[in-house]
Structure 1
Amino acid sequence: MPLRRVEGDWRVKLKAVDFVGVFLALAGTAVLLLGLNWGGGEYAWDSAHVVATLVVGAAVSAGFVGWQWKGARVPLVPMHIFRSRIVNGACLTMFANGWNFLVQIYYIPAFYQLVFGYSTVKAGAMLLPITLLQTFSSTLSGLIVHWVGRYRECILVGWVIWAIGLGLFSTLDRSSGLGKQIGYGILTGVGVGNTLQPALIAVQAGVGRRDMAVVTSFRSFIRNLGGTLGLAVAGTIINNLLATSLTSLALTDPEKRSLLSSPHNYLSKLSTEDAEHVRSVLIPAYRHGFRVVFVVGAALAAAAFVVAGWLMPQVELRRVDDEELKEEGKLRIRGNGDEERAGKK
């Protein structure tokens, strides 16, 4: 890649950095995610700790949006990028992508351990069909977009397959064979891969060159935000179902918190008979909780399919200045080569 000489005073460039926006973005996101991680875990959702952090985080995040809209001279996230339908569609679908991806990576091994009784190593190995097929399908879909010049079909097919895969995961029980477990993982991995690379190509094609870096980074931020929120909500769903089922065990509040935070450690301290009794209550509750989490993920994937079909139309991938920029790059490479040869002489 030919390098372009950087010009201008570094002091002027430093003053152009939106430090206020950086502070508001970091503060708002950190406080908001802290409340989401606390809720349903260390503190109840209606506790002062959770309510205060969520309110403050939301207020600071709203302040960040207002600052980017009216206050910043060179904003981190220019508001004009949201005039593009593709940018809005990519942000919404990448939120669902991050939610489902992190939730399945985190909870599928736990699902196999608690429902099927697999060891830690085997439960982790059951993620291989997802991760391997995700890598393969992401690469293949990127090549298909390059060859055909269209991304829309790959994205829509990916969301359909992902919704089917997660929906099938919700049907697994102890009687389900290894073939089903691997097959559903393959479907899920193919769905993940087809929604990643083509969506990146789409969002970059939907804006001008000067905004490509901004929309790419913001897309990744939204994806990470969706993943964090998804983990918090999934954990809350499972913990609430467990807490409801544990009422029959007559445990104290400290014992409930210890069991919910680390079931294996808690069960290891009990006698064999007591541990089996707790497991007889715990495993069905976990199974139900995992099923709900997978169904929610499938519903999100289906909703993302609708959003992608509505807000992510096909646009021309070639730009009018492509050839001009290619020629400019070739000339710069030749110029760099000539300068190096002149320096050696």
Structure 2
Amino acid sequence: MDKQSEAADAAPPTPQSERNPEAGKGDAVPGPKYLAGTKLVLVMVAIILACFLMLLDTSVVSTAVPQITTDFHSLTDVGWYASAYTLGSAAFQPLTGKIFSVFSLKWSWLTFFAVFEIGSVLCGAATSSNMLIVGRAIAGAGASGLLSGAINIVSSSVPIERRPALIGMVMGIAQLGTVLGPVIGGAFTSGYTWRWSFYINLPLGALVAGPITLVHIPDQTAKPKAWSVLPRIHHHLDLFGFALFAPAVIQLLLALQYGGNQFAWNSSQVIGLFVGAGATFIVWAFWNYRKGDDALLPVSIIRRRTIWASALNYGFLMSTLLGVSYFLPIYFQAVKDLNAVLSGVNLLPTIFPQLVFAIGSGVLVTKIGRIPPFSIFSGMLVSIATGLFSTLQEDTSLGKRVGYQILMGVGLGSGLQMPIVATQNSVSPKELTAAMAFIVWAQYMGPSIFLVLYNVVFDASLRNLLPHDAPGVSTEAVISAGARRFRDIVSPEDLPGVLKAYSDSVDRVFYLVAGVGVVVFLSAFGMGFKDIRKKDGGAAAAAAAAPAPSEKEAPRDSEAASAVPASRANREASKEHGPGGSDSGDLSG
């Protein structure tokens, strides 16, 4: 590939340039090919279903755990059933960006989906707790490429002006998996067997793999032949960087998993894992910096304000979503005495507004052209809603609960896809896969860390409040019985005190969730206020990204003439973003 084409690839696409990126340069060159009609519908249905299944697996196991521990006599392994999936996803996520940038997008994505399905089979067929944990880790590794790959498939399938609405559809529907997971898992566990919580991925997986296999999905950037990559695959994928990054992430998540559970927070095991994670991360950061744009996480991408602000916004927004998804059901089941299915039904006031506003905001952002207002609005509503959740008590009316949940759903839906839209309009087509991998990695890491913190707050609060509110009960017995079964061991006289302790403990968790929502609000201001409807941004980025020509490679007259407006646009972009140029790539399609 010559330097001219590399420079063109480095520019963020615009609707006009995407239709004919070489227009005006002499020879007519056809623009990128996109999907339409039935083919586009089939691909969209397939990737939405795949992302739904991926997020379903993050929470489907929660209501199946009691029966699993009974079958395998594995109460001490409870934490691993959820964390093994997260470990696999978070460790492999950055590598997915490199894989998608080097190999065919379609076949790479199908490979990740196949690994996800293999992990699901192992989970469903598990004959021991260890086999189930291994299956969950394999499924998580496969899931690591599904969401970022789906976003890249949408980006390759339609012009940039159509992407926000379609990505909003993907995100809005897929997120239902997180909320419906406990309901589906509870239904299978109660009505048949917990194994179908995992086997369900197989028949639905056929509906995913079929359309993707049959439909040609265009790669919008040139990819080398697979066989030519293999001899230097360690360089193309930065496998040494991955060998440093993955252990750092795994040690961090293991420390969070072990702390306060298997080991005390000040134990040598937990402290050693934290120290090991920090030391390994420092070595990786040095290596990543030295590798520059060939690194696992390219330096020129993650140093841009729009990119890291979007990652921060997305990670914290997803942390609020998971906080609500996990602790509202605890309130419904422990305080309101609802079963798993009914607690899931009671989450519907959050689900439907989230879906509607996720799609609607995707349409509106292409009309308004500014991304931060949506994320600012989202952070404001999420903070208010979670603050209101902290007032929930045993006697809180249905109307108040529904109103708070509607606010939460509107807030989540309004901001859910904005970090992705901001990122897409801040990078070139060649940078998109790595940038998406970084953003989706933030989605995994944020909730992984904050769910531990939420649990620490909840557990500590419950242990402090139970002796005060219900002095006649055993604190350890109530906690061991769980949110659904403590009523079996608590006398009617002590029950009101236990319910108050549970309710107040959930309230304290929502104090922390509200604080996380404030970070969502603040980070939105760093996502770039540039109008994404402008069609002249690509020239500036191309001029900024293109290498300076040597004397032997001086541009011809026609090329020099075409470079003048590009350099002028580049100067204007520099004035807008400041001398650092950290957001020079923050341009519209």
TM exceeds 0.5?
yes
Matched, 1:35 2:251: no
Aligned pairs (5 A) from 1:190-339: 190-247=410-467, 248=471, 251=474, 256=476, 259-264=478-483, 267=486, 270=489, 274-276=490-492, 279-309=495-525, 311-317=526-532, 318=534, 320=536
Kindly state the Cα deviation for residue 155 of structure 1 after the two structures are TM-superposed: 1.2
- Partner letter of residue 284 of structure 2? F
> 1: CA distance between counterparts of 2:473 and 2:416?
47
Q: Which moved more, 1:118-127 or 1:184-193?
A: 118-127
- Are residues 277 and 263 of structure 1, via their aligned partners in 2, closer, same or farther at CA, if it must alter by over 3 Å? farther
RMSD of the TM alignment (CA)?
2.6
Higher helix share goes to which structure? 1
8 Å contact kept, 1:44–1:50: yes
CA deviations on 1:140-160 (whole Å, 9 max, x unpaired) are: 100101222222211111111
8 Å contact kept, 2:393–2:504: no
User: Which residue of 346, 352, 356 maps to 1:136?
Assistant: 356
SS at match of 2:270: helix
8 Å contact kept, 1:40–1:239: no
CA deviations on 1:102-151 (whole Å, 9 max, x unpaired) are: 11111111111112222322211111121221111111100101222222
SS at match of 1:174: coil
SS at match of 1:210: coil
- Are residues 208 and 3 of structure 1, via their aligned partners in 2, closer, same or farther at CA, if it must alter by over 3 Å? closer
CA deviations on 1:6-42 (whole Å, 9 max, x unpaired) are: 4441324524221122222221111111111222233
Partner of residue 339, structure 2:
119
8 Å contact kept, 2:487–2:495: no
> 1: CA distance between counterparts of 2:375 and 2:487?
46
Unaligned residue ranges in structure 1 (runs of 5+): 324-345
> 1: CA distance between counterparts of 2:393 and 2:506?
11
- Are residues 322 and 89 of structure 1, via their aligned partners in 2, closer, same or farther at CA, if it must alter by over 3 Å? closer
> 2: CA distance between counterparts of 1:321 and 1:301?
32
8 Å contact kept, 2:292–2:299: no
Q: Which moved more, 1:51-60 or 1:189-198?
A: 51-60
Kindly state the Cα deviation for residue 279 of structure 1 after the two structures are TM-superposed: 3.9
- Are residues 220 and 55 of structure 1, via their aligned partners in 2, closer, same or farther at CA, if it must alter by over 3 Å? same
Matched, 1:180 2:400: yes
Kindly state the Cα deviation for residue 240 of structure 1 after the two structures are TM-superposed: 0.8
> 2: CA distance between counterparts of 1:250 and 1:150?
56
Kindly state the Cα deviation for residue 86 of structure 1 after the two structures are TM-superposed: 0.9
8 Å contact kept, 1:170–1:292: yes
- Are residues 151 and 96 of structure 1, via their aligned partners in 2, closer, same or farther at CA, if it must alter by over 3 Å? same
CA deviations on 1:174-215 (whole Å, 9 max, x unpaired) are: 222111111111110111111111221112212333222212
- Partner letter of residue 32 of structure 1? L
Kindly state the Cα deviation for residue 320 of structure 1 after the two structures are TM-superposed: 4.2
> 1: CA distance between counterparts of 2:488 and 2:401?
32
Kindly state the Cα deviation for residue 284 of structure 1 after the two structures are TM-superposed: 2.1
Unaligned residue ranges in structure 2 (runs of 5+): 1-33, 35-216, 540-589
Kindly state the Cα deviation for residue 302 of structure 1 after the two structures are TM-superposed: 1.9
8 Å contact kept, 2:361–2:374: yes
- Are residues 155 and 72 of structure 1, via their aligned partners in 2, closer, same or farther at CA, if it must alter by over 3 Å? closer
CA deviations on 1:315-344 (whole Å, 9 max, x unpaired) are: 242454879xxxxxxxxxxxxxxxxxxxxx
8 Å contact kept, 1:21–1:72: no
**TM-score (ref. length: structure 1):** 0.82
> 2: CA distance between counterparts of 1:314 and 1:225?
26
Q: Which moved more, 1:160-169 or 1:238-247?
A: 238-247
- Are residues 86 and 188 of structure 1, via their aligned partners in 2, closer, same or farther at CA, if it must alter by over 3 Å? same
SS at match of 1:43: coil
Partner of residue 20, structure 1:
240
> 1: CA distance between counterparts of 2:382 and 2:241?
36
- Are residues 238 and 278 of structure 1, via their aligned partners in 2, closer, same or farther at CA, if it must alter by over 3 Å? farther
Matched, 1:11 2:230: yes
- Partner letter of residue 260 of structure 1? I
8 Å contact kept, 2:462–2:501: yes
Identity of aligned residues (%): 24
- Are residues 80 and 160 of structure 1, via their aligned partners in 2, closer, same or farther at CA, if it must alter by over 3 Å? same
- Partner letter of residue 507 of structure 2? R
> 1: CA distance between counterparts of 2:350 and 2:293?
44
> 2: CA distance between counterparts of 1:7 and 1:241?
56
- Are residues 117 and 3 of structure 1, via their aligned partners in 2, closer, same or farther at CA, if it must alter by over 3 Å? closer
> 1: CA distance between counterparts of 2:463 and 2:528?
45
Q: Which moved more, 1:228-237 or 1:3-12?
A: 3-12
8 Å contact kept, 1:141–1:154: yes
CA deviations on 1:52-109 (whole Å, 9 max, x unpaired) are: 2222122222222222112578211012223321112112212211211111111111
